[in-house]
Every structure is written in C-alpha cells, then in structure tokens.
Amino acid sequence: MRERSSSHLIDSYGRYMKKLRLSLLDACNFRCVYCMPEKAQFTPSKDYLKTEDLLRIVKNFVSFGVEEVRLTGGEPTLRKDWLVVAQKLSELPLRKLGLTTNGFNLHKSIEDLSRTQCQYINISIDSLRKEKFNSITRRPFYDDVMKSIFMAKEFGFNLKLNVVVMKSVNDDEVIDFVRFSQKYDIEVRFLETMNIGVARPHFEKWFIPAQSLINNIEAHFDWTKRDREADDTAFCYDLSGGGRIGFIASESQSFCQGCSRLRLDAKGVLRPCLFKEQGLSFKDISLEDYPKALSETMRLKPIEREKELAQPMYQVGG
C-alpha cells in the first residue's frame, strides 16, 4: 500500500479519514420499516452523479489518501451501472472495496462481481423467517435475498450479514442467527436500531442495547472476543465451533472518537459524518480546490455522537 499522499484527510483530533461510503443512489425497492416510509421521495435520476464524475471524484479522494470504499445507497444494485462502477473502482489502489446491499439483485451479477476487487459484501437480512422478513422489508423478496447470501458464500466473498435488532419485532431470532452463523460459517452482525429518520418515533420501543444481546448469547454459546482496530465500528466474537458474531452498538457505545469515515451522497455532496446534514459538493470542483474543500469538510466533523438525525438513512447512504 502506498503512503498517504496528504494530510487533508486528517482532522484536528488526529483522525484520518481513510474510508469512504459511496452512495450510488437513494432509491430502493424495499421499504424497511426503520429506514424508509412506504411513500418515499427519491432524487430524480438526472440529479445523481454521472458515472464519469463519480469515478473521477473517488479517484481524486484516493489520491488524497482514501484507502477503502464501500458502495451503498439506497439500494446500490438498482443503479444500472453499479457493476461498471465496481469494475472501474477495482482499478484503483484500494485496500478494500465493498458493497452493502439488500441482496435482491446480487445473485444475478455475482459471477461478474466475483471478477472484480469488490470482495467485501454486507447483505442486510433482519429475519430468517419469510413472513417476518417480508413484513419488516414490506416486500416479498426473502427468497432472492437468501439466494444471494448462499451464492456470495459459494463464490468466496468476504461476507457479512447485517441484522437490525428491534425489540418485540425480531429480537426473538438472535439465537437463530447465531446458529445460522455457526452452521454456514457466515459472520452475522447485530446492529442497534439507530435514532435516525423514520426510526425516530419508534426508537424507545425498538431499541435494545448490544450488551443485552451479548448476555443472552453468552448464556448459550462459547465465544472469544477478537481484537479491535481503533476505527472499527463493530466488535466481534469468534464462536467456538465456527461462525462469528459482530455488534455495531452505534447508540450505546458510539465509536465517533475513532471514526475514519466520510460519506459521498448520490448527488456528490461529501458529508463529514452520518449525523451532519452539512457537507460540500465535489461535483464541479477542480482538483486544485480539493485541499481547501477537504480541509473544510474535516473542520465540520464532530467528535461526539449527535443524539439523532431527522434525515432518513437511505438519503445519506448507510
């Protein structure tokens, strides 16, 4: 890996922004109850960054020190050229290229994707029971998602499943997910419901701290805690007998102090933080203006976790 080429991605607290969440679009074909209203408003596709602009901006960020890129959205695989984006970004000197997806489309392109450098796939699945899955996502695509999970495993991707845990909705499946992880040797990551967007009115009712899941799992399984990098959002345990469980405790154990993430939304606005609606557009700026714009973005980056965000996750790029 090359040396960092500049200090424009280091903020005043010494945090180095090496990871970029790249939202390809805000549209989605699911309506997960904690993320999107049934009647969601999406950006008109003419306002999304054009492919060449998107690729140029990411390439420039990489020249300034970004080392990891994750494609997200909305649902990134709904963008017609998402695979081309993955192929083109594979030419950059990245340490990691990943994709976070609802899994609906993935199985159709998995072979092509396996030939790219995009090898870190997170698939969201909040229930292993078809009816409940359909009621959480408000769409009947359980079989497609399962197919994508097993194909991604078969093709040897570095695969993780994201499970948003909600009290009295799917918390009764935590042990089933742990068994699933053991049985198929697939990492499962439990996400605390975040106080964001459409989840806010339900937050008190749904929220369960990661520690209470840990207590429950520890009563049934042996596991060993893994070492954690300073900027890891998850803390993980290896299950004896195979499988791995991670926790993203964004609410109860926020990880802002070690944050290394920037987010580029689908229109080309670079946000310093998930919780900051302010950001700077990189759509039309020239390379000479990057240092100033990046430094300005760094200046906006908070050190403490904001309590909530009105804007829904799908608009920011989760």
Where does this chain bind ligand SAM (CB under 6 A)?
A: 28, 34-35, 72-73, 75, 100-102, 124, 162, 164, 191, 193-194, 196, 199, 313-314, 318
| Residues 53-92, interacting with ligand SF4 (CB under 6 A) | 73-75
β 158-165/118-124 pair status: parallel
CB 292 within 8 A of CB 182: no
Strand order in the sheet with 280-281: 223-225, 235-239, 244-248, 187-192, 158-165, 118-124, 96-101, 68-72, 19-23, 261-264, 269-271, 280-281
Residue tagged 């899994």 (tokens)? 103
- Give the H or E element holding residue 189: strand 187-192
**What is the spatial distance between Cα 83 and Cα 101, in angstroms, rounded to a whole number?**
13
Beta-bridged to residue 145, according to DSSP, are none
| Residue 103 interacts with ligand SF4 (CB under 6 A): yes or no | no
Residue 199 touches which of ligand SF4, ligand SAM, none (Cβ within 5-8 Å per kind)? ligand SAM
| Residue 35 interacts with ligand SF4 (CB under 6 A): yes or no | yes
Nearest approach in angstroms of CB 72 to ligand SAM is: 5
| Residue 98: Cβ within 10 Å count | 24
Our CB check for ligand SF4 shows the closer of 9 and 309 to be 309
Nearest approach in angstroms of CB 31 to ligand SAM is: 11
| Residue 36 interacts with ligand SF4 (CB under 6 A): yes or no | yes
Residue 36 touches which of ligand SAM, ligand SF4, none (Cβ within 5-8 Å per kind)? ligand SF4
Out of 20, 28, 210, 217, the only residue in the binding site for ligand SF4 (CB under 6 A) is 28
Out of 23, 122, 124, 233, the only residue in the binding site for ligand SF4 (CB under 6 A) is 124
Out of 11, 23, 24, 30, the only residue in the binding site for ligand SF4 (CB under 6 A) is 30
